[in-house]
A and B are shown apart, each in its own frame.
Chain A
Amino acid sequence: MAGAPELIADSVGDYARIWLQRLRNGESGALPVLLGLIAVVVFFQVRNSLFLSAGNLVNLMVLSAPFILFGMAEIFVLLLGEIDLSVGYNAAIGAVVTFWAAYTLPWWVAIIIGLAACALIGAVQGAIITLLGLPSFVVTLAGLLALEGLLIILVGHTGHGAGGSIQNPSNILDDFTSGNLSPAAGWIVMVVLVALTGLFMILRDNRRRSGGLVAPPLGVTLLKVAVMAIAGVIVVFVSNKNRGSLLVTLHGVPWVVLIVLGVLVLYTVLTGRTRFGRYVYAIGGNAEAARRAGVNLKRIRTVAFTLCGMTGGIAGILLGSQLNSVGTNFNGGQYVLFAVAAAVIGGTNLFGGRGRMLHAVLGGLVVAVIDNGLALIGLNAADTDIVTAIVLLAAVTIDTVARRSRATS
């Protein structure tokens, strides 16, 4: 977040030099995750050449979306140095409420109601934590248990929940994860997004320079735009390949990719460019300092828990869209663990103050890749859990060791 090499460097060469130095000092940032991701991908591709097929890659995009969103949800509270153990079941309740409402109301109204329910649950927990001064671990653990029970009750009460689950009544909600943009639309959207982002970055740099401040060298900014463009091209190209059959064409970028991108951009702005975001980082870094500076700790913390709940709701709706139903067999506890794993693997610090929304994307991808890859090579659910656990441990170890070496250097 702070001390970015692009603000100290004068040229691309300088930037590279500073970046390498930080690497040596242990500030590796997202590098271990990226390397790990590449290593894992290579491993699976070698074991099963279907892994990098167009169909499977798109499958990965859809599969990783809920993990990414759960990770983003958890990051709001992790940055504060807190945790939300109830986000999994909160998401399930959001999905149930959304589906329930969708039987009689338009899909977008149903979503608003569902997300509002999740936000409310998050707010209640946040209020209890801040007003009574209780540890978030305990309060959200109680929340997890309570919501698990509430899920069972709700499913039964919806009137559509025979058999312990409620079906998705809306085609549009289904399309979130199974619908796609047309190939042409995919290209257009990608070009527009990359161009807008590049333009925004250049304008922002110019504003800094005209104010007399140091701005990243133009070469570095263009490099970033190029990387984004390449990633965009890959995503659209792979998605546009026919992953269906000769009879049924199936191609295009899944809508869910746009949804995740939209939330990512919104949340990155929220955490990095608003007062609220600044205060979240401040509280995570030194709550007492923030308090003395006049930050309203109670309000910020409560809002963070509310956002965590609501984002979990988005993840829940996407999960429901994928499975086309939500049932009482929903394993809310496991999703919490994946949420924290995604955030931590991506580089977020469990003790607060360090992390970005982008981490959830990287971490969510890693979790999804492992889940998907292990299934492809025939591993069962139990082994998948063990491997994910090992990866989580490895990620945290690398981060902690790097941080320790930095602290003592």
Chain B
Amino acid sequence: MSACNDDHCITCADEGVEMRVLERGAAGVSVCVTEDGGRADVMTELVGVVEDGDLVLVHAGVAIARLRRA
């Protein structure tokens, strides 16, 4: 998993981080990227099928929600 976002760890608190799907992978694991370029393998099975470019809310290595486009 990518490092913490400045002074604020993405898994130490009950907070999620918005990430963009860079590359949909096999077995429900996709490569995602944070705002500041941090990459991580993210399990996406809880948010259904994702496509490259989709925005998801990630917590502790798992996407728990999709961000809706305005």
Q: Indicate whether A and B interact.
A: no
